[in-house]
Amino acid sequence: MSATVEYGLDGLDDAYKASLSHGRKVGNLNYWLSYSHREWDSWDLPDDFEPREGRVTAGRKVLDTRIIEDGGERENSDYQTDNFWGKVGFEPSDKSEIYVNFHYISSEKGDAPNLDRVNVFSDFTQFDRITAYDDWGVDLSAMHAFSEKFDLQAKLYYHDHEDDYTSYSDQTYSEVVAVSTYKDDILGGMLLGEYRPVDWDALRFSLHYKRDAHEQRDLESLPFAESISYTGSAGFENEMRLLDNKLSVVIGVSYDRYDVSKAEEDIENDGNIVDSGTPDTSDEFNPMVGVTYQACDSTKLFASVAKKTRFPTLNQIYAGDVPNLDLEAETAVNYTAGVAWRYNDLLNVEVAPFFHEISDFIARDVPPELNPYAQYINYGEIELKGVEVNAVVTPMKDLSFKLGYSYNDAENKSPGRVTGEVLGVPEYTFNLGVQYIVPTLGTKLNLTLLYMGESYRQLPTPEEPDLDVVENESYNLCNIKVTQPFVSDHMEAFLAVDNLFDEDYEPVSGYPAPGMSMWLGLTYRM
């Protein structure tokens, strides 16, 4: 059993966390239970946060220009959640196991507004709160090894979600305009098998199928409009280990299928539910191949190429003035190659250049002459090319460094583009993690540093070609944690500081991150 309590010392108002977990194994039966609670009234923006003017709009019509966030405590940033997780398993032998997992999450939270643009309509606004956010689910999984050569895994699951989106007339959050309710439930299953005819060859197959049901209403007085979709896939993979296990070759392919069987909407919010029509069934084949070669004990070479399909969401199909029932799947072809090198226990380094080619990119902000109904359409073509470098350095037993560097050159190659730049993709990122354990005392020191390079917050578009180019500034983020065990390692106290230097940055455009925050905690383990 373990229990943890944390209290927010700085950067948050009335913040605390508490959790309790317990697990045990008795013969062939084992279980694990966990409960946690988190809440705060608000979190603080960095001291050097600079307010800027934003627009209050109704679609493309600008209603007002004002300061939406003036600093200090982040507006509408309160949060409260209760989480329960449970797992019960039965293992009749070393060849079989059956597990049941259950979770329940209940939350209520503010939804801090975007700094640059907030939409306000008569029956929906982005001055809102998530007044209910409930999620629960049950998973049943099983595994059995029929022989030394063949084993099978199966899983069935049901997940249910419901949330209430409460719209307010303005940022005083005093007058409720509407309560919109969204319900989702997912029912699905999967089957995974592996057959090893010889020691150097493994054949694997997979089957996945799920049903997604979505219901929504914009007002409490209205009936729900319902949509149902089905997603399925069948996959096959062959892994061969050759040349005394120095060479590994993996070849695979999946067949993926997406079908919308029902789609309703209440266009005028008057209770008149209409059939929106359904698109044709989409299906795609997605092949892949990967090769790994152990050149020597310290050096490994690897390369892969894979095609990945992303089917459009229901929201993308039915957004716009009329549904786009011809919206196709988005396709990415990903190429990666690299080398991993190890020097004793001192150094591990991996260098991996990559190239990603995305076609039929699903976008909405395209030239009006190509998109008169403001739909999501297949329009964009994007290329991402660069390199990732990761290293782990362990100069001594109780000291380790983890370093990561990424260079990513993103280019928009869409027809009719106004610019070749791409929103929200930093060209450079760097991260560093340091862990040191003080001898004798056992004090654990953890430090993480993140450098995020510049990215674009706003770019001219075919619909608005005169928009200014606005960049997100680069930023440095530093977090530290000091942990001290005591009472024969049954207890430990810790102090954690996030955003140590109170950096002002926006991980998502228009949504500033919290400033410096400090947590003091205590953990007890039996």
With bands split at pLDDT 50, 70 and 90, how would you rate the model's confidence at 462?
A: confident
The pLDDT tens digits of the residues spanning 9-24 come to 999 999 999 999 999 9
Q: Which run of H or of E encompasses 276? A: none
Task: Please give the residue that has the higher pLDDT: either 432 or 314.
Answer: 432
Whether the pLDDT of residue 463 is over 90: the answer is no
The torsion defined by the Cα of 457, 461, 464 and 465, in degrees rounded to 10, comes to 110
Q: Rounded CA gap, 32 and 343, in Å?
A: 40
Residue type at position 165: Y
Entry pTM: 0.88
Whether the pLDDT of residue 368 is over 70: the answer is no
Whether the pLDDT of residue 75 is over 60: the answer is yes
Q: How much is the pLDDT for 320?
A: 67
Cα 319 off chain centre by: 23
DSSP string, 490-505: TEEEEEEEESTT----
Are 200 and 245 in contact by the 8 Å Cβ rule? The answer is yes
**By percentage, how much of the chain surpasses pLDDT 90?**
80
Q: How much is the pLDDT for 446?
A: 98
118-121 contacts at long range (C-beta below 8 A, 24 or more positions apart): 118/54, 118/55, 118/56, 118/57, 118/68, 118/171, 119/57, 119/58, 119/59, 120/56, 120/57, 120/58, 120/63, 120/169, 120/170, 121/58, 121/59
Which of 157, 155, 180, 156 shows the shortest CA–CA distance to 167?
A: 180
In the chain, what is the straight-line distance between the N-terminal and C-terminal CA atoms, in Å?
5
Whether the pLDDT of residue 472 is over 80: the answer is yes
Q: How much is the pLDDT for 316?
A: 86
The pLDDT tens digits of the residues spanning 288-299 come to 999 999 999 999
Q: Rounded CA gap, 153 and 194, in Å?
A: 9
Q: Rounded CA gap, 399 and 434, in Å?
A: 7
Are 491 and 469 in contact by the 8 Å Cβ rule? The answer is no
Would the CA dihedral through 165, 171, 174, 178 be positive or negative? Answer: negative
Q: Which run of H or of E encompasses 27? A: none
Q: How much is the pLDDT for 376?
A: 84
